[in-house]
Amino acid sequence: MSNVSSSGTESEIDLLELYKIIRRGKKTVIRFIVCFGLVGLFVAVFSEKEYIASTIVVPQSANNKVGGNLGGLAAIAGINLGGANTASNISPNLYPKIVRSVPFQKEVLNTFLKFSNKDEEITYKDYYQKYKGIGVLSFIKEYTIGLPSKLSSLFKKEGVIDPKSIKDTIYRVSIEENDLSKQLEEQLSLVVNSKDGFIEISFSMPEALPAAQMAKKVQELLQRAIIDFKTEKVQDEFNFIKERYNELKNNFEVKQTVLANFRDRNRNLMTSRSQSHLERLQSEYNLAYSVYSEVAKQLEMQRIKLKENTPVFTVIQPVSVPVMKSKPRRIIILAVWLLLGVIIGGATVLAKDWFKKLDKRM
């Protein structure tokens, strides 16, 4: 019991001693508070405004629902949907990689936006390359922390490549586009909640309406990319069968016309030779019709498969234009800097006192 009370007394003495030391160096602490407070005030005043628009989407597979509803109709039409589900599944954990892909970001960079100080819509890329002025804090950051990378970029020589000599499947990204892509990744937030099965897309911009437009564009492009990935194989099969269907349809119509013309010309004249020719035309017509009708069934089956494997997106929270800005929170910024001033100022006073005592001992 006595040990506990003695340790408690020692801790009280230590705290009291620390308080006395800091009180003796209060001028130093006040200087730090004032300096950090001024820095915090500067940061709070010159921080750029930021608006965040977001949406919550639930991707759903339409396999069970569509298969149940359309399966009966397909059976009536004589179409067998057994084993029709051949679509590829894409993991939600890959959605961020889709968003960071070069083709996706190129499309996002070319999104047209409406800004308050512009009469006409301009693209995201043009806004940041031609119209957006650099802020005070961004300028300081660029020429202090970002100075080494800025200097190194001056000595980089970009190879001269003729875009016409590059195939369409190869994407070429300029230095400016690469910088914009990095900025895009900072402004875009994609949260995948695998447990509850939803994705949240957020985008930040200096103005409210462009923030909403960018969030909506990312949502639409992501949905389209997921649909294309999931239905790519079925879509290719559908396109192939459709081309074949059109060919067979034309062939069937030609055979039908030839047979009808022959019957009209030989209505009252039926010789053995004409009868034989009629039977041959009838056989060709029947064969063309049989193949044509079979491919028509396959086309309808493939159309149902395409519908069946197309994912459905339920929008829980649609994109809306934000009313309040999300940044800067000036009071919090100032409070944090003042707190840093107190902590660093107090630590400086304690460190000075400790070094003085150390010198005396030596």
Rounded average pLDDT per 10-residue block, the chain, 362 residues:
49 68 79 84 77 92 50 44 53 89 93 88 90 55 52 48 51 87 92 90 93 95 91 89 93 91 77 81 91 92 88 91 81 84 84 76 67
Beta strands in 234-335 (DSSP E): 312-317
**Does one domain contain both 40 and 147?**
no
> In this predicted structure, what is the pLDDT of residue 189?
94
Where are the extended beta strands (E) located within the chain? 51-60, 112-113, 122-123, 188-193, 198-205, 312-317
| Claim to verify: residue 37 and residue 178 sit in the same structural domain | no
Q: CA torsion sign, 265 to 269 to 270 to 274? A: negative
Same domain, 297 and 335: no
CA dihedral 125, 126, 127, 130 (to 10 degrees): 130
> CA–CA distance from 3 to each of 80, 261, 277 (Å)?
86, 118, 121
pLDDT of residue 66: 44
161 plus 199 within the same structural domain: yes
In a domain, residue 22? The reply is: yes
Within this chain, do residues 167 and 36 fall inside the same structural domain, yes or no?
Answer: no
Q: CB within 8 A of 63, min separation 6: which ones? A: 85, 87, 308, 309
* 95 and 235 housed in the same domain: yes
Flag whether 358 is in a domain.
Answer: no
Bridge partners of 2, per DSSP, are none
Place of tokens 């055979």: 255
| Beta bridge pairs of residue 317 | 56
Report if residue 80 sits inside a domain. Answer: yes
- 40 and 75 housed in the same domain: no
- pTM, rounded to two decimals: 0.65
Residue 282 lies in a domain: yes
Angstrom distance (rounded) from CA 112 to CA 120:
9
Check whether residue 121 and residue 260 sit in a common domain.
yes
Asked if residue 355 is part of any domain, the answer here is no
Angle in degrees, 0-180, between the axes of helices 63-76 and 272-309, rounded to the nearest 10: 160
Say what the pLDDT of residue 204 is: 93
Dist CA 281 CA 285 (whole Å): 6
Range(s) of the domain holding residue 26: 13-47+328-348
Domain assignment present for residue 362? The answer is no
Question: What integer pLDDT is reported at residue 64 of this predicted model?
Answer: 47
* Domain co-membership, 181 together with 321: yes
262 and 275 share one domain: yes
Judge whether 5 lies within some domain.
no
Residue 168 pLDDT? 56
Assess whether 161 and 191 both reside in one domain: yes
* Count of the separate structural domains present in the chain: 2
Count of C-beta atoms within a 10 Å radius of residue 349: 21
Buried b (16+ CB within 10 A) or exposed e, 32-67: bbeebbebbeebbeebeebbbbbbbbebebeeeebb
Shared domain check, 230 and 337: no
pLDDT of residue 133: 55
| Tokens describing residue 64 | 């069970």
Are 102 and 171 spatial neighbours (Cβ–Cβ below 8 Å)?
Answer: yes
Residue 141: its pLDDT value, please?
52
Does residue 360 form part of some domain?
A: no
